[in-house]
Amino acid sequence: MHMITLIPGDGIGPEVTEATRRVIEATGVAIAWDELNAGAGVIPECGTPLPAAVLESIRKNRVALKGPITTPVGTGFRSVNVSLRKELDLYANVRPCKTYAGIPSRYTDIDLVIVRENTEDLYAGIEHMVGDDAAESIKIITRKGSERIVRYSFEYAVREKRRKVTVVHKANIMKCTDGLFLSVARAVAAEYPAIEFEDMLVDAMCMKLVQTPTQYDVLVLPNLYGDIVSDLCSGLVGGLGVAPGVNIGKGLALFEPVHGSAPDLAGKNMANPTAMLLSAVLMLRHIHESTAADRLEAAIAAVLKEGKDVTSDLGGRASTSRYADAVIAKMK
């Protein structure tokens, strides 16, 4: 029996989480869910959007599955998602990006992985007003933070039998911060001669990803570029509704879709649960339930290929729950 923390989140979170929980149950893998929530909805009861019990549960169980959580814009509490990553030192955000037959997209053979640094950069949120009419934000890049994320990317490439790592930066302009990231990346790359290594300016990278995405394999990026470029990549393979992810720390793994809480779809049973289901596939592999993971991924791929039970973002008319039912039926 696996003990796993489950955080449904808000917006479309509870809907895609419920669909995913049902589908995982149908794989037959025995999981005891430790269900807790975070976000604006728990503030009245807990006095904070990120209760200590949530952090304790993840630390204890070491594996968590999480739905998206809304962050107020401009004012209000700090992003719960960012706080979770900081508090638990979940330093690597891994976002596989792969085409599945049946999903409308410009390309048919993309299979790349974004490795986003998750704790530093402008995302450290060190900002202040300078008088009333100017604002400053501090970009933090450390040798230690850069080393561990680049090393993680190379170790990932070796483990997953990938051929190339591309480090993405803007070191021509940000000579100190991105310059440090790049020089550390070069030093780490030298330790992995069997893996091809290249570096690319983030602006050029965006153009090349749109034009020739199949050239790329593993991309490693500082936090903010990783955030933006991973959404670009999800657009290449069918959109945010199909992009899974995991946040990795020392002995900890928190699985979550790339997308947010999609307030425009919340409560309508319309959201695409694929991103969360594929996050569950990654989670099953992580807990060494590879047979169940393969069965689940094959069932998702079959439903996508058939195209008759998919959600509206993929051109279909099915609800979130009907899509989940179709995946369950394919596993029988």
Catalytic residue among 10, 121, 178, 227: 227
State in angstroms the smallest separation of the CB of 50 from ligand NAI: 12
Q: Which residue is nearest to ligand NAI (CB)?
A: 260
Phi and psi at residue 122, to the nearest 5°: -65, -20
Count CB atoms within 10 A of the CB of residue 176. 10
The residue (of 64 and 150) whose beta carbon lies closer to ligand NAI is: 64
Cα dihedral 193, 222, 233, 160 in deg (nearest 10): 30
Instruction: Determine if 70 is a binding residue for ligand NAI (CB under 6 A).
Output: yes
Q: Cα-flanking dihedrals φ and ψ of residue 179, to 5°?
A: -60, -40
Does 81 interact with ligand NAI (rule: CB under 6 A)? yes
Active-site choice (91, 100, 123, 216): 123
Strands 134-140 and 121-130 come out as antiparallel
- Quick note: the x/- pattern for ligand NAI over 264-303, rule CB under 6 A, is xx-----xx--x----------------------------
Residue 260 C-beta: closest distance to ligand NAI, Å: 2
Catalytic residue check, 225: no
> Does residue 68 interact with ligand NAI by CB under 6 A?
yes
Instruction: Classify residue 254 as exposed, middle or buried by CB count within 10 Å of its CB (0-12, 13-18, 19+).
Output: buried
* Buried residues in 118-144 as b, exposed as e (16+ CB within 10 A): bbbbbbbeeeeeeeeeeeeeebbbeee
Q: Which tokens go with 204?
A: 């050029």
5 part of the interface to ligand NAI, by CB under 6 A: no
Contact positions toward ligand NAI, by CB under 6 A?
12, 16, 68-71, 81, 240-241, 256, 259-265, 271-272, 275, 313
- Which residues are known to be catalytic? 123, 170, 203, 227
